Chain A
Amino acid sequence: MENKIQELVFSFLDMVSMKHKEVEPGVWMAKVPENEQTFFNGFETLKFTFDRASAEKHRDLELICEGSFLLRRIIERLSEIPKASRLYSTNPPEVAPIGAEGGLRVISDKVYYRPRVVFNFKVQYECDQRREKLYSLVADTAAGIMSLDAGLHEIDLKEFSETAQPDIEIEESGVDILRLYLESCRKLEESLNEEIAELREWGDEQCSENLKVFEAYLDEQKQELLKKKENVSFHLYFFQKEEEIDRLIDNLEEERNRKLTELREKFSLRVKISLINAVVLCIPTIGVIAPKKRRSVAKGLNMAGIASSTGFATRSAIQ
């Protein structure tokens, strides 16, 4: 873990043009450029370590480790930078896949790059608890969604290069990127449905349990006040007393509304899906698929099934 943190931090410093050097074993120093000083809490120089013992000895050192605020901020900042890359496979050309729609394969000797997109997603569940999960979807412009896996997609860089072979061009495909993305979102949501339902059920249970005891507690107070109100008629200034009791009842109502909102907010499930990055993998391909004759009626999913998977079709999939 520590090595990965170091790798991340050093790469980040390089990215923001901060040269760093090891000033003593395990302690690094970097000059913070003016435009980055706000990010580094106004410091002109960042002196940091990855070693807890060193940081404990020297309190002026910034400890960067799991759970440190600076690491968290670096990660947050990186996640705010939209990133997409394109890599070219160095493997021999493949034969064009037929894909879900099927069709006739036409083989020619022309080699072209067929794009395949890796979408890496982060799913954040927030209720009373919070958890994060990572998923990757690989979608081929010819074959559609190929895989959905937990964790982020590892690319074997031995098989890819950042430069294209000069004589091969990228062929546009029959499926566009936006559609692939939307299909990936749909696939991802489908896979999350069970977990979402489970968490939602837990939140609802917690919320209603809390609400039940709270309602009883407030009702008792209200009943007591009402009883009191009945009895104040014997009081000399009964009208004032009654007004006071009415005010207290109003206050209880106010409290009820406030706590209800508080409880609902606390236990309502929120799921946020973020596209961490996307990598377009260009696969050398031979042959093209002639599309089948189009069907006259749209290939649709069963709407009833969708509606029953709570909220699937009703969400804003992109924003």
Chain B
Amino acid sequence: MMTNTISTRTRAEKSPLIKVESKGEQSFTFQIKGKAFQQGYLFLNPQMKELFPFNEDLSSITFIDDDDIVHSAIYHKMRGYMVCLTFNEWWTKKGVNEGNSVSIELIDLTRRTYRLRLVNGCESVPVVSDESVELKISSFVDQSVSYSSHNLEVLRRIVKSEFSPYSETSLVQLGEELSAGASTDGELLALKTCFGVSTYFHQVQTAKMVIEKLNGRALLADEVGLGKTIEAGLILKEYLLRGMAKKVLILTPASLITQWQQELKTKFDLSFKNHLEINDWDDSDLIIASLDTAKSQKNQNTVQQIKYDLLIVDEAHKLKNRKTKNWKFVNAINTKYLLMLTATPIQNDMIELFNLISILKPGHLSTVQKFKEDFLAERDKRLPKNSVKLREMLSEIMIRHRRADTLIKFPQRYVHTHSIDLNPDEAELYRELTDFIRKRYFTLPTHKNPRGINRLTLILLQKLMGSSTQALAKALGKMISSNFYKDDFDQSLKKLYDMAKNIKHSRKGQVMMEIVRSLNEKVIIFTQFRGTQDYIVKMLQDEGYSVAIFNGQLSQAEKDRCIEDFRGEKQILVSTESGGEGRNLQFCKVLINFDLPWNPMRIEQRIGRIHRLGQNEDVHIINLSAKDTIESYVLELLDKKINLFRLIIGELEMILGNMHSKRTLEQIIIDIVTMSPNQDAMRRKFKTLGNKLEKALQTHNEINIAQEEIFNGE
């Protein structure tokens, strides 16, 4: 086949090799004649080849002439020549005649860069220059156009006759055509591959606006419940798909990390690594972290040294004060695109808005002084003067939609709470267990005396009791049969286990069955524990109900099937996973909370499964709560003090944020439960907590009123 190849003529035979006139250590001088002069071909003789010691068959060589113009050549090692299209242009410009001398001097072997000099016909050895070529290149050479190193490899294949079947070559072509076609039709690519997202017009508009008009730096300030996370997800995925972003960091409150991760995974197929799961901030391109961790002494410098393509800051109102570490930290992160998400860009003072915008686009709202003069009303720091002008300026950097503007129907949510009297044996078990936990809490195992029940287990027992005696019995059974609890010195666990085991009928279970019997539609029943789930399922199946069972032990395929069964023929779904699985369950309108998690965010996630954007019908939330139990206090707190069951999804985090506590609400509740010496003390502490929550809600409402006036008032 060698005869059947495309081959450049063996020019060396027809064109004499270049004759070296003089040779230095890193340079040589030669006369330009023949093909070198006419067409820019240099046929290297062995002496010259030493200056080009490259292994590849084809390599690119850069020559920089006296005028700092770059000439690119390809060196064909096998045939011993190099070709450059612009050599003869240089000769012409310099008035070089055939026979004049030119020198080539090595500048940088790794970059394959050489200096080309006209020696004006003299035979002198070229003067080695001390000047910094590096500087010259960067200041004179326009390097905006570059060629892929892959190009020479394609040429090499032709030169060496290594041809592929056309089907493979055209496959590469088809791929590129698909890729280029996808990027030009003006539609968001992200929309085509996101799941479980009912994208709304305002969300798509926001994504397009940020990408096309706002240069990827924007404050997304929709009212709560309009899907800012979805908007950020769309923008993020679009940038990734268009190849405009690779390295992305999301900063969010710690309590929202898992929720973000789940939403991005299930809806956008993006796997973000929690920084705690990896060794290094550079280990993954997609990282999510809490703002507190990222700005910590340990991480701060590392994060600020990385060049991010996109940074997303959730709950960005935490950056409202430029004197804080939060503001300074985020302001110093190097990022091409930046999205800041908050429903409340102004909480106390218009300057907060100025500070947020200053991170996004410093100077956009002019200087602090001028901003104050132009836009700050004297009577109220929350209100602007010249609000029309301000809004106009904000429209170039901030996007805010109101629920009322979007015309989206937000259905009603009806809450029904059943306060249940426990059976006498259940009530007795509850008292005994609570006493046991309180006592044991003060004799927790220590390093010196590791025997005993640890704090987490005690809390778990309390929660299990609040869920069902069946779940409690199962857990206690496991504990007393394990080696670790063999030394149950006062036999309390055994006693509690016996009590739990002997309770055959749960009052809560009976009430739940009464409710289910009264309904003739699809119902989701949530519980936190597998033991309770088994109990509920058995009760329902005994009465002939068709039940779909959903829990974390199912495989992905089994979960899919379970949801499909529920969507189809099954009437009831009993689920232990409250986490935002991103599955669309909005075909169901009734949710029963068989037990209540102490973490209100988990309750919000449960509600979010059926009541959020996309639900068109009113939904009913039914809470089952045993009287005089911790669960009843928690329920009262959440329902009466902050209207949890009526809040818009997303609003809870904002209200809790107004408590300015470093501990989560669940941690506070756990402390109250475990640290109270008796029932009365516990009640009092719950009352105080209730007052704090009430105040947080009040602040939240005031902020909302102020936002409305600033962004939409006359």
Contacts and interface: CB of A to CB of B under 8 A. Distances in A.
The finding on whether chains A and B are genuine partners in a shared complex, rather than unrelated, reads yes
Interface of A: 1, 4-5, 7-8, 11-12, 15, 52, 55-60, 63, 65-69, 71-72, 74-75, 78-87, 115, 117, 120, 122, 126, 128-134, 141, 151-152, 155, 157, 162, 164, 169-170, 172, 174, 176-179, 181-183, 185-186, 189, 192, 196, 200, 206, 210, 212-218, 220-221, 224, 255, 258-259, 262, 265-266, 268-280, 294-301, 303, 306-307, 310-311, 313-319
A258 B557 contact: no
The 10 nearest A-B residue pairs measured at CB: A311-B142, A217-B363, A213-B363, A176-B8, A298-B88, A67-B189, A220-B367, A300-B92, A82-B153, A75-B175
A67 B182 contact: yes
Nearest to A275: B151
Contacts of A217: 358, 362-363, 366-367
A273 B148 contact: yes
Given A59-B559, A162-B166, A172-B9, A310 B60 contact: no
Chain A interface mostly: mixed
Interface in B138-166: 140-159, 161-166
B520 interface: no
27 contacts: A4-B178, A15-B168, A52-B193, A59-B195, A67-B182, A75-B176, A79-B175, A79-B176, A84-B162, A85-B168, A130-B242, A132-B183, A134-B180, A177-B155, A178-B83, A213-B364, A214-B363, A258-B332, A262-B336, A273-B146, A275-B155, A276-B172, A277-B154, A303-B92, A313-B71, A314-B68, A315-B142
B503 to A, nearest CB: 39
Contacts of A5: 178
B69 A313 contact: yes
Contacts of A311: 141-142, 144-145
Contacts of B159: 177-178
Given A71-B178, A216-B366, A86 B163 contact: yes
Contacts of B170: 155
A130 B158 contact: no
Contacts of B70: 313-316
A152 B178 CA distance: 11
B544 interface: no
Given A128-B215, A172-B9, A319-B146, A84 B169 contact: yes
Interface string B674-695: 0000000000000000000000
Contacts of A280: 6, 158, 163
A72 B246 CA distance: 13
A179 B39 CA distance: 10
Nearest to A121: B151
A279 B86 CA distance: 26
Contacts of A192: 145
B184 interface: yes
B129 interface: no
Interface residues of B, number: 114
Contacts of A129: 212, 244
Nearest to B158: A84
A306 B189 contact: no
Nearest to A69: B269
A131 to B, nearest CB: 7
Contacts of B92: 297-298, 300, 303
Given A314-B141, A317-B147, 10 more contacts: A4-B174, A12-B171, A52-B192, A68-B192, A117-B158, A179-B83, A196-B145, A218-B362, A273-B146, A319-B146
B566 to A, nearest CB: 13
Contacts of B62: 316
A151 B181 CA distance: 10
B159 to A, nearest CB: 6
Q: A57, A155, A169, A177: which has the most chain B beta carbons within 10 Å?
A: A177
A85 B166 contact: yes
Contact of A319 (B83, B149, B173, B556): B149
B171 A8 contact: yes
Contacts of B367: 216-217, 220-221
Nearest to A317: B72
A2 to B, nearest CB: 11
Contact of A84 (B164, B334, B335): B164
Contacts of A69: 193, 241, 269
A318 B6 contact: no
B178 A299 contact: no
A283 to B, nearest CB: 12
Given A177-B8, A314-B69, A65 B37 contact: no
Interface string B86-109: 101111110000100000000000
Interface of B: 3-9, 37-40, 58, 60, 62, 68-74, 76, 83-86, 88-93, 98, 140-159, 161-184, 189-193, 195-196, 212, 215-216, 241-244, 266, 269, 331-332, 334-336, 358, 361-364, 366-370, 555-557, 559-560, 564
Contacts of A155: 166, 170
Contacts of A306: 89
Contact of B151 (A56, A218, A274): A274
Contact of A130 (B3, B88, B244): B244
B11 to A, nearest CB: 8
Contacts of B149: 319
A59 B178 contact: no
A78 B72 contact: no
B334 A131 contact: no
A192 B144 CA distance: 12
Contacts of B89: 298, 300-301, 303, 306, 313
Contact of A277 (B86, B173, B215): B173
A88 B333 CA distance: 57
A302 to B, nearest CB: 9
B270 to A, nearest CB: 9
B58 A178 contact: yes
A279 B602 CA distance: 60
A110 B430 CA distance: 105
B174 A7 contact: yes
A188 to B, nearest CB: 10
A205 to B, nearest CB: 12
Contacts of B180: 122, 132-134
Contact of B155 (A174, A266, A271, A278): A278
A273 B369 contact: no
